[in-house]
């Protein structure tokens, strides 16, 4: 059975004939999601005493810190409600989502503006002010998904109010918590437009197709015209407000994982709009970024690079992170499905083999998050302040469903006309 093949030569052991290859990938990723990753979080992360989720988990799932980070709480609410909506209506999945949402609803926002805190203690008392708009992004995403699983006017209102608040704050989202000195070097970041590409689709059942259709062109323009730099063929993490290049640490920064993840968001939008040109452009940027960001000596994708080849300021620049690699797998599978570009299939096999060989934990389940440049486990935690129940399950689902679609399309092509 394909899903039983877990060792480092996985790619070679999968059937070579394309139809069987696609179905083997689909089964492998499905089984990993349902039988390994989701059960790990179900077993270890639920705080039965205070509500919400523990995300700081050791390799074996034991809790090493009880602080709760609101963006990870929202991500996990999204994950379990999304899987309930799209994989199977398992009551334990819905109960998990409801459990996290109750904690968020009770403790997660400030009383004045309704902004979501960055972190709370185990009991729900605020630790870090609501400076980080990504707490809001994933709260909106979580409650919108939960409303599909368990329709509730409160969940709808929380999701929509939070989304509208994000739009109000988007041009200066740190507000009073911004450390930058005003007026000297104004920069805007890529992360928020990137996330809004995906978030708008997640909230479509609440916002309406018309509102989303009005919103999409602006987001696509920001990602594909403002932050994308044709002279490099790459997307910068920060630019001046007019889109011009800033020759500074922040302005030179490339995060290959962000770009690659954003390109599958753009491909999804291109599919929705039936825009083959946009899909192909996103696919080409993704492939160029992967080639640029791949460590040709040790394998894997670098975390950060400087577009001019200078030393990056991030000391972790050469680490290999879980989310970068699993998002690349999604982008490559989608790129192959939507364009048929054989480069996507070739790269998928390469990234697949590296990722399953280095990140998956055979002994305790779930996946490691942080490797050094050589691909050795740097931290054996399964969750913390930044890693939670999100990128791996979402990517496993996306890759599973994409290869199913590729297989179905291949079978349809074989039918007599």
What is the per-residue DSSP string for 291-358?
HHHB-TTT-SB-S-EETTSPPPS-TTTT-EEHHHHHHHHHHHHHHHHHH--HHHHHHHHHHHHHHHHH
SS3 69: strand
* Residues contacting 112, CB < 8 A, separation 6+: none
Contact 397, 33 (CB under 8 A): yes
Correct CATH for 1-44+188-417 of 3.30.565.10, 1.25.60.10, 1.50.10.10, 1.25.40.20: 1.50.10.10
SS3 at position 223: helix
Backbone phi, then psi, for 134, in 5-degree steps? -75, -20
DSSP H or E segment with residue 261: helix 256-273
Mean pLDDT by runs of 10 across the 417 residues of the chain is 38 59 95 98 98 98 98 98 98 98 98 95 97 96 98 98 94 87 92 93 96 92 96 97 96 98 97 97 98 98 98 97 98 98 97 98 98 98 98 98 94 62
Q: Pairing state of beta strands 68-69 and 119-120?
A: antiparallel
| Residue 2, pLDDT score | 34
CATH 1.50.10.10 residue ranges for the chain: 1-44+188-417
Q: What is the predicted pLDDT for the residue at 176?
A: 84
């Amino acid at each position: 059975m394909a899903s039983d093949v877990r060792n480092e030569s996985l790619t070679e052991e999968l059937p070579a004939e394309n139809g069987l290859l696609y179905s083997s990938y689909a089964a492998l990723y499905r089984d990993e999601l349902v039988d390994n990753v989701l059960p790990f979080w179900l077993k270890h992360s639920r705080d039965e005493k205070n509500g919400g989720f523990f995300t700081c988990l050791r390799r074996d799932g034991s809790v090493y810190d009880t602080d709760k980070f609101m963006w990870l709480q929202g991500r996990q609410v999204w994950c379990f409600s999304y899987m309930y909506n799209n994989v199977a209506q398992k009551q334990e999945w819905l109960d998990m989502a409801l459990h996290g949402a109750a904690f968020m609803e009770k403790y997660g926002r400030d009383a004045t503006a309704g902004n979501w805190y960055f972190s709370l203690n185990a009991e729900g008392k605020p630790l870090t002010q609501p400076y980080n708009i990504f707490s809001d992004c994933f709260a909106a995403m979580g409650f919108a998904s939960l409303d599909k699983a368990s329709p509730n006017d409160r969940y709808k209102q929380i999701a929509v109010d939070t989304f509208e608040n994000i739009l109000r704050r988007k041009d200066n989202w740190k507000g009073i918590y911004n450390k930058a000195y005003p007026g000297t070097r104004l920069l805007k970041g890529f992360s928020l437009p990137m996330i809004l590409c995906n978030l708008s689709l997640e909230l479509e059942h609440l916002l309406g197709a018309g509102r989303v259709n009005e919103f999409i062109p602006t987001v696509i323009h920001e990602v594909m015209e403002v932050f994308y730099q044709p002279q490099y063929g790459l997307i910068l993490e920060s630019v001046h407000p007019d889109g011009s290049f800033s020759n500074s640490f922040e302005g030179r920064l490339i995060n290959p994982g962000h770009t690659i993840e954003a390109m599958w968001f753009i491909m999804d939008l291109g599919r929705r709009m039936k825009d083959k040109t946009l899909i192909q452009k996103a696919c080409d940027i993704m492939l160029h970024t992967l080639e640029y960001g791949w460590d040709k000596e040790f394998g894997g994708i670098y975390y950060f690079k400087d577009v001019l080849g200078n030393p990056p300021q991030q000391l972790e620049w050469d680490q290999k992170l879980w989310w970068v690699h699993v998002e690349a797998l999604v982008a490559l599978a989608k790129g192959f499905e939507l364009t048929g570009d054989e480069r996507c299939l070739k790269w998928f096999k390469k990234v697949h083999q590296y990722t399953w060989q280095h990140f998956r934990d055979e002994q305790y389940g779930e996946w490691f998050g942080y490797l050094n440049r050589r691909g050795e486990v740097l931290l054996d935690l399964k969750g913390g302040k930044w890693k939670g129940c999100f990128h791996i399950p979402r990517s496993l689902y996306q890759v599973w469903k994409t290869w199913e679609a590729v297989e179905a399309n291949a079978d349809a092509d074989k039918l007599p006309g």
